[in-house]
Structures are given as C-alpha cells and as structure tokens.
Amino acid sequence: MNPITPKQLALLEKLCNACAVSGDEGEVREIVLEEVKPFADEVKVDALGNVLVTKKGSGKNRLRVMLDAHMDEVGFILVSDDGEGLYGFQTVGGIDPRHLPGKPVLVGKDHAYGVIGMKPIHLAEDDEYKRKPSVDSLRIDLSPSGSAKPGDWGTFATKFKHVGPSILAKAIDDRIGVATLIELVKHAPPNIDLLAAFTVQEEVGLRGAKVAAYTFIPDLAIAIDSTPAYDLPVHDGSENHSYNTKLGLGPAIYIYNSATIDDSRLVRFLKETAETEGIPYQIRQPGGGGTDAGAIQRARAGVPVVSVSVPGRYAHSPIGLCRVDDWKHTLRLLYSSLEHMTPEMLKDNS
Amino acid sequence: MTDILPFFKSLLSIPGLSGYESPVARLIEDAWRPLVDELSPSRLGSVHGFKKGVGKEPRPSVMLAAHMDAIGLMVTGVEDGFLRITSIGGVDPRILPGQAVTVHTAKEDLPGVVVMPPAKHLPPGVGDGVVDIPHLFVDVGLLPSKVASLVRSGNLVSFGTEAVEMPGGIVSGHSIDNRASVAAVTLCLQELQSKSHNWDVWAAATVQEEIDYVGAYTSAFQLRPDLGIAVDTTFAKGPGANGWQTFPLGKGPTFGHGPNIHPYLHRQFKELAERLEIPYAVEIMPKSSGTDGMAMQVTAEGIPNFVLSIPIRYMHTPVEMAALKDIQRAGRLLAEFIAGLESDFMEKITWED
C-alpha cells in the first residue's frame, strides 16, 4: 500500500479538529456518514448513535469481521452558569486536571472560543502554586458577553498540525482509528463481510461497542485505537522499561490488558501477516488500559477479539502526537490481514 | 481613534521574551515611526520615541514606560529528542503541561508541546502533584537526530496560543502583559497627532521589566524625564481572583495609589478621568507597584511617578484576557493628560492636597 496521501491526511485533520465528546458524537458521525455512504451496502445509525456499516464480500465462506473505532473523545461538559460568561464544568473521560489550566477550549455547536484560566501566580497564597488544581475550582471563560448553557460540551481548542514525521493534534485517540476504518471500508477486500462499527461512548465505558457487537453478530472483531507511547527519558537516565509502546516501531498489537486477553489465534495471525508482508509492528506491553474489544468480546456467546493501535504520545491531553509512518503501517497491517482471513484461522486454538 | 485591534493582535503574535525583545521592538518601531519626531534604541534595546512639544525651551518632558518583554521559556538541554526547559520571568508551572509552544531555533520556528512525564518516570513523589519545570520536557515531533541538529541550549520558547477576539471586544492570548500597554501608548501617540502639547514626550517600550525593570532604570536615566508614567497591566476580577487587588474587566483602567506614586499625579488623573467621564478604579499599591514605575521613581535625583494599569484576567498565563475598551481608555487618558500639561506644571506639583 502507498504512503499516506494528502487526501487521507486532510480527512484525519478534519476528524481531529471536529468536536465530539462522549455523548455528543454528532460532528464525527456526520463526517463518517458522508465518507462511507458511497462505498457501503448498508449504513445505519443505531439507538446509541453508533454508525454501523456493512460491506459485503463476494467469495464463499466469508467471515463476518467486525472492525471497531470509537468516534468519541475526552472533553468537558458545562455544569453551571456563574454569569459574566463564566461556566463551571466537569471532565468527560479521563483527563488529568493538571492539563486544564491556561488552555483554550471550544464550546458548543458553534465552537465558541473560551479559555480555562488560572488565578495569577502573583496572587497565589503560600504554596498554592504547588498544589494540583481541582476541576471544581476552575471555570471556562467565554468572555463577559459570551454565552453557552449548562449541558453544552467542549474540547481543547487544538488545531491539527503535520510537522515533519509527526501529527500534533487533539483526539488522535481515536480519530486515527476512525480515519483508518473509513479507508478500510473504502477498500474492503472481497473475501470477508466487513462490519464497520464507528462507536460512541468508548471513553466513558465502552458503551457503543457493546451494542454494536450484539447487532453485528461477528465471527471475530478487531478494535482499532490509539494507545499511549510513554517512550520518554527516565529522570535518572536509566533505561525506560515501562513505555507501553514506542513511536516509530509500527502498529501496536495487544496481547493482554485490563479489558481483555486478546485472542491468541488472532494475535498470531496478525504477527504472521506482518512478518510475511514485511510490515513493522510492536507488541504493546502487557498491562492496564483497554479498548472497545473488552466489550465486544463479551457480546452474545462471545467474540474472538484483538486490538491494534497506532501508538500516540500524550493521549487525553490538549495536544497528542503520533507518527504518520506508524499510521501507514497500521493501515497496511490491517488491510493485509483482512485480505488473507479465512475461517480456518479460527480453528486452531492451541 | 483608529482601530487598535489589528496592531494589538500582531503585538500578541510576535516573540519578544525578556532579553530578546528585538522582534517586537521592530514591530513597535514601525508603528511609532510616523507618530514621533525621532526614534532611537536605548543601549539595552528599549525603543524610545520622541515627540516634541510646542512649549518654550527648556521644555519639560514626560516619559511613558510600557514594557514590551514577555515571559516564556528557554531550552536548557536536549535529551534523546526531548527539550529540557527553564522559565524566563514568572511562569506558573501549573499552566505548562500540555501547553502549545513555539521553539525559536537559529534556522526555524518549531511548534511543540510541553510534556508532563508520567509519574513512573519521575523521582518518587514528584509526579503526584504539580510537576516543577525542571522535570518537564518540550516535544517538537521531530526525530532525535533532527532535533539535535536544530535545537541548542539557550533557544527561546514562546507560548503558542493565538491572539483571539472574543465577544464584547475582549482579546485573549499570551503576552497581553504588557503588550496591551504598548497598544495604549501607541493610541496615545496617535491622539497626540491632532493635539497641541507644550511638553516633550518620550514613549518608551522598555526591555526586561519581567526580570527587574532593567529597561526602565536605564531608559529613565538616559532620558531624564521630569515625570514618569508606567503603563502596565493589573489583575482583573475572575475565577479565583476577587480580592482587593482585583478590578472589573472592561470597566476602566486603574490609578495606582501608594508609595510608588506621586499623590499630585494621582489627583490629576482622577480629576481628568472625571472630567472626561472615563471610568477608573483606584488601585492601592501598599509596597511595590511591581511596574517600571519602581525604577523610574528612584532614577537619578528621583522622578515623580504615576502608574496607570489595564486590568487583565489570568495574568502570566497563555490565555490572558483584556478589554479593548480599557486599552482605548488608557490611551485617551494618557493623551489628554499630556495635552493638559502646562509649562509650569512642575512648579505646581505639591505633596499636600
């Protein structure tokens, strides 16, 4: 497969700049629908707001393969109107409150520009400036004449940037999965029935994936996500043994995390495909975290699952960072794997 | 009065950290050149604009000091593609994690982000609370070899937030402290184009205020004005800031009162504002005004000093907020005050009411 094209990058930019906090995925849903409709056999928006796309293959004994990418991102929801354009808010999804002060945000359908300010350091009492800010002490400020209402959602106001080998943007988790899945729908191989689930509410408990898997009744599923790369220097100069993933080493294949033990047949199949095709990959360090696969695995009588992620630094913060090449290799690995899938691959469970 | 917004936004979009003010200084010179009779740099890089009065010689002079330097960061080293940083001026470590920044290298400007490493990669205890600046990194998204070839210890790092106009004539961005005052002094010079003034005027965009009023000390000594007026920003009321040190945003500038301010000047400004029906607040400054006025007051044999401030929210964060109206009011007050200075003003200035 060719390098990532400017058109694909432009789509990722549009997806990352869209605001779609868990429960308010409309903006991304609209983009997804527009992109996939010309290529799909069936498209529906389900009761939770998932976009469920079916692209049928043409061969015999086709596997029903569910591919999942979540549309939602972490963000904010306004909870109180303090007057003068100031709003109390809560975070939606896992945001470290230390990433909040001094950041611009976008609020509501019109993307009103606001800021999360901070009491000036000059006025800080004693060791106040050493204490973690609490979300309850902070306000979103839309300026005294600005207006919004409690219940409006917000995100960090980060504009997508393509810098050298990297992408700097908000919501790479999981718009890069959404962009990948859109490409796979557009180029679905004929040997499988591709069941694409663009899901909602992953960041607040894998809710969309749970019902999407119930609806699709797949033979197997792959969750496409972005997983943290903690590949930073360690304070004492010692080797970093706890990096989860590293940028530049290709797609991260999961084998074990808080939400699932990934299906060993699928893990082996992905690894073999990568090796045969000469695609770089890495094993995500076993440990915490999880993806929609955790919910899909438990659907109905159970679904063999595996997760594949584009490694990304600084997820759930105002600005994330990933490598275009890792995305390219993730797309290649997934496409090659789908192309070679047969029912036989699920028979051997040794 | 001309629309100050485009110039103000360009002031907020150009680097000029303390000690490295040249880029913003050039921008200010271009704006002031048509408004003054002479333009010259000080020995330390402050911009001096001279506008001649019409009074008889020897003419007294008034100096307007608005510092143009901004707070920010500086690269202290490169580790495996990541930049170590320190602060220039009073940077609050709480606003840094996840902050967009621009790294100025000799070759090009690089966008980047301030990184708070996970607790497991920090010394025990350090990662639990506010992580101090020496433990943070900047990531510019380039491969380590490229970073090593581009970035040097000592490279400057500016905040990366854009200047944005918000509803109701509010502008948000970084470096509003104190580019808002540079904009106000510029408006004052514009107003003086159509006003006759007896006194000579020195408009000074000073360097290194955030360090220790370095520009104000040296410019005041060189220019030796009869009166000094420091124009700076002060704390606007806002979340977490509602005490006596704070003033409403967009409801007028503040007039300093305290040991750094000559009471006669304070009274003059109050009377002027009331005559012009310009709203203002009195800002009590019990010890230091924390402005260039601290330097001007004690320069040479001493200079009667006044401090005029523009309230801004979230001072020293990259999302400061100022009201254009307050900038315009400050500019107008300065121009009217200067136009009203009579040749014998210095003979009338008294300590007693």
Q: What is the ipTM of this complex?
A: 0.95
Q: Which CATH class is domain A6-73+170-346?
A: alpha beta
* B224 CA: distance to closest CA in chain A (Å): 31
- Considering only the beta carbons, identify the residue of B139, B241, B319 that sits closest to A104: B319
A126 by Cβ neighbours in 10 Å (0-12 / 13-18 / 19+) ranks as exposed
More confident residue, B312 or A132: B312
pLDDT at A294: 95
pLDDT at A97: 97
Are A232 and B241 within 8 A, CB to CB?
no
Per-residue pLDDT for A1 more than 70?
A: no
* B276 CA: distance to closest CA in chain A (Å): 25
Active-site residue, from A13, A25, A27, A202: A202
Q: Report in angstroms the alpha-carbon separations of B173 from A138, B109, B294, B328.
A: 18, 19, 27, 18
Are B97 and A317 within 8 A, CB to CB?
yes
CA A244, A246, A247, A252 dihedral sign is negative
* Percent of chain A with pLDDT strictly greater than 70: 99
> Which residues partner with B39 through β-bridges?
B49
* pTM of the model as a whole: 0.95
* Percent of chain B with pLDDT strictly greater than 70: 99
pLDDT digits (tens, 9 = 90+) for A229-278: 999 999 999 999 999 999 999 999 999 999 899 999 999 999 999 999 99
Per-residue pLDDT for A2 more than 90?
A: no
Closest chain A residue by Cα to residue B320? A117
pLDDT at B352: 82
Q: How far is CA A159 from the centre of its chain?
A: 17
Residues on chain A touching B241 (C-beta within 8 angstroms)? 119-120, 123
Residues on chain A touching B239 (C-beta within 8 angstroms)? 86, 117, 119, 137-139, 141
Closest chain A residue by Cα to residue B93? A129
Per-residue pLDDT for B134 more than 60?
A: yes
Per-residue pLDDT for B323 more than 80?
A: yes
Are A314 and B92 within 8 A, CB to CB?
no
pLDDT digits (tens, 9 = 90+) for A74-128: 999 999 999 999 999 999 999 999 999 999 999 999 999 999 999 999 998 878 8
pLDDT at B1: 46
Cα distance between residue A20 and residue A73, in whole Å: 6
Longest dimension (CA), chain A: 73
Active-site residue, from B21, B191, B209, B283: B209
Bond prior to B58 in cis (omega within 30° of 0): yes
Q: Which two tokens stand for residue A295?
A: 């919910």
* A241 CA: distance to closest CA in chain B (Å): 10
Q: Report in angstroms the alpha-carbon separations of A251 from A260, A262, B203, B345.
A: 18, 15, 59, 76
Angle at A302 between CA A300 and CA A305, to 5 degrees: 130
Cα distance between residue A316 and residue A321, in whole Å: 11
Query: What 8-state DSSP symbol labels residue A47?
Result: T
DSSP A196-209: EEEES-STTTSHHH
Q: Which two tokens stand for residue A137?
A: 């002490």
Query: What 8-state DSSP symbol labels residue A195?
Result: E
Q: Which two tokens stand for residue B213?
A: 């009023």
A&B contacts, CB < 8 Å? 194
> Are B19 and B211 in contact, with CB atoms under 8 Å apart?
yes
Angle at A242 between CA A203 and CA A319, to 5 degrees: 45
Mean pLDDT of B127-145: 96
Mean pLDDT of A169-175: 98
> Are B14 and B182 in contact, with CB atoms under 8 Å apart?
no
Are A132 and B92 within 8 A, CB to CB?
no
Q: Which residue has the tokens 């509010």?
A: B170
pLDDT at A295: 96
Is residue A202 annotated as part of the catalytic site, yes or no? yes
User: Which residue of A91, A95, A119, A130 to mutate against B (max B Cβ within 10 Å)?
Assistant: A119
- Considering only the beta carbons, identify the residue of A103, A113, A321 that sits closest to B139: A321
Cα distance between residue A89 and residue A153, in whole Å: 9
According to CATH, where is 3.40.630.10 located in chain A?
6-73+170-346
Are B99 and A318 within 8 A, CB to CB?
yes
State the average pLDDT for chain A: 96
Cα distance between residue B69 and residue B89, in whole Å: 10
Mean pLDDT of B141-152: 98
Mean pLDDT of B44-50: 98
Catalogue the E-assigned strands of chain B: 38-41, 47-51, 61-67, 72-79, 82-88, 100-104, 109-115, 137-139, 156-159, 164-166, 170-173, 200-206, 227-235, 254-257, 281-284, 305-313, 320-323
Per-residue pLDDT for B53 more than 90?
A: yes
Are A141 and B123 within 8 A, CB to CB?
no
According to CATH, where is 2.40.30.40 located in chain A?
75-156
Residues on chain A touching B170 (C-beta within 8 angstroms)? 143-145
* A22 CA: distance to closest CA in chain B (Å): 21
All structural domains of chain B: 5-70+174-348 (3.40.630.10), 72-159 (2.40.30.40)
Q: Which residue has the tokens 């008889």?
A: B56
Q: What is the CATH number of domain A75-156?
A: 2.40.30.40
